[in-house]
Amino acid sequence: MIPRYAPTYTFGDLQKGLKLSFDLETESKLIARLKSYYDVRHVFLFGSGREAMYAVLKAYNRPGGVLLPAYNCIVVPEAIRFAGYRPVFVDIERGSLSMTAENVEKSLSPDIQAIFLTHIFGIPCDIQNILDVLAGKDILIVEDAAPAIGAEYNGRVVGSFGDASVISFQSTKIISGEIGGALLTNNETLAEKLESLKLEASGPEKAWTLFVKALARKSVTRRNLYGLAQFGYRTLLGEEMHEIVSPKVRQPKGFFSRCPSFASALVLLQMDRLGWNLERRRNLALLYRNELSNHAKVSLPEISQACNPAWIQYPVFVDDKLAFYKHMQRNKIDVTWTYRYSCAESFGIDGFPNSLHAAETIIGLPTNPFITDEQAMQICRVANQFGG
């Protein structure tokens, strides 16, 4: 079975990473590498992207409303609440899956202190038009580039447009360190606050336990084992195509933590392959787009000319999501239903029809860089048999 996601590290990386994780310079080497890649002055590593979001809001210290798209990862509005702010949802546009400048403008109020510009699935949002709407306003602009390492907007890498940006090294992202995330900023005031705030972060996960988890994930996504693992997962947890989640109200223990050295090592090792990684993902996305463009039951995302996405998955819209999902599974292709919820709906707020539509119809085709063109063609052949 072809997995929906697969870690981007190799078995060789795991071995080298374990050794590197005991090298005291690994963390500072990764920070230096990210500083030069993003051309930013300050990089702070944390245990996850969501913790980096929490950190920047804490450092800003002006509790109030935070704008964010309602079609989003639930951990984002959760982190906003943990930091003492209030999530204020903005509906997305159907085709681009992102907030429009118009919707952002309509959502502004004197209570809004910050906004997350989310590059969902690695697709840059409408950055310039949103920045125009926010120009001259006293609002902290944070790019949520968690899934978008390497994505470009007007030829410039995303993560360099806001006051601060968040990237993630979680297992489904562009570069997987198994866990981990970073905050990037050129803002000296924020950086100073973050310098002291980071001392409050709890100890990171131990290299050995993380190594074992990463090894297990890498092993389980091998094709021969994956079908069995997926079957077990489906049986135990079920596979709903649409759900309403219950957001966490209280900050879990150990929520604000440092990035494990093993994760830093894995990411550092993979920075050398980032060009190849992105090129593979873009080739797969192009192939999906070409092969599925005439499908009667599958429609494709609308990507603006300004964007060169990074693609943690290739999202398509299918009205009968469950039937499509089952069809692909029967043919040994695992696709993802991420995200199968609207955050607004999960927070009990109505009136976000496009976010709900996305939750009900999005299927993600795999774009991990180890997928071959032949496998992608097979995925398209199977997809094209659906409803035809």
Ligand X SMILES: *Cc1c(COP(=O)(O)O)cnc(C)c1O
Interface residues toward ligand X, by CB under 6 A: 48-50, 73, 75-76, 118, 120, 144, 146-147, 168, 170, 181
CB of 65 to ligand X, least distance (A): 18
Residue-by-residue DSSP string for 252-264: PTT-SBPPPHHHH
CB of 40 to ligand X, least distance (A): 19
The residue (of 52 and 383) whose beta carbon lies closer to ligand X is 52
Peptide bond into 153 cis (omega under 30): no
CB of 384 to ligand X, least distance (A): 28
Closest residue to ligand X, Cβ-based? 49
The residue (of 82 and 386) whose beta carbon lies closer to ligand X is 82
Q: How far apart are CA 309 and CA 123, in angstroms?
A: 5
The residue (of 146 and 241) whose beta carbon lies closer to ligand X is 146
The residue (of 147 and 162) whose beta carbon lies closer to ligand X is 147
The residue (of 160 and 378) whose beta carbon lies closer to ligand X is 160
The residue (of 345 and 386) whose beta carbon lies closer to ligand X is 345
What angle, rounded to 10 degrees, do the helices at 49-60 and 188-197 form?
110
Region of residue 116 (phi > 0: left; psi between -120 and 50: alpha; otherwise: beta): beta
At which residue do the structure tokens 């060789």 appear? Answer: 12
CB of 259 to ligand X, least distance (A): 10
Count Cβ atoms below 10 Å from residue 34 Cβ, excluding itself. Answer: 21
CB of 297 to ligand X, least distance (A): 26
CB of 366 to ligand X, least distance (A): 15
CB of 185 to ligand X, least distance (A): 17
The residue (of 214 and 383) whose beta carbon lies closer to ligand X is 214
Which residue, 376, 7, 36, 3, is CA-closest to 174?
7
Helix (H) / strand (E) element for 78: namely helix 75-82
**DSSP type of residue 333:** B
CB of 172 to ligand X, least distance (A): 7
CB of 332 to ligand X, least distance (A): 26
At which residue do the structure tokens 């699935």 appear? Answer: 121
What are the residues whose beta carbons fall under 8 Å from the beta carbon of 239, sequence distance 6 or more? 325, 337
The residue (of 168 and 261) whose beta carbon lies closer to ligand X is 168
The residue (of 74 and 383) whose beta carbon lies closer to ligand X is 74
CA atoms within 13 A on the CB side of 63: 7
The residue (of 1 and 66) whose beta carbon lies closer to ligand X is 66
CA atoms within 13 A on the CB side of 283: 16
- Distances in whole angstroms, Cα of residue 206 to Cα of each of 50, 251, 361: 20, 21, 39
298-299, strands of its sheet edge to edge: 298-299, 313-318, 362-366
CB of 222 to ligand X, least distance (A): 23
Q: Is 321 helix (H, G, I), strand (E, B) or coil?
A: helix
**Strand-strand pairing, 140-144 and 152-153:** unpaired
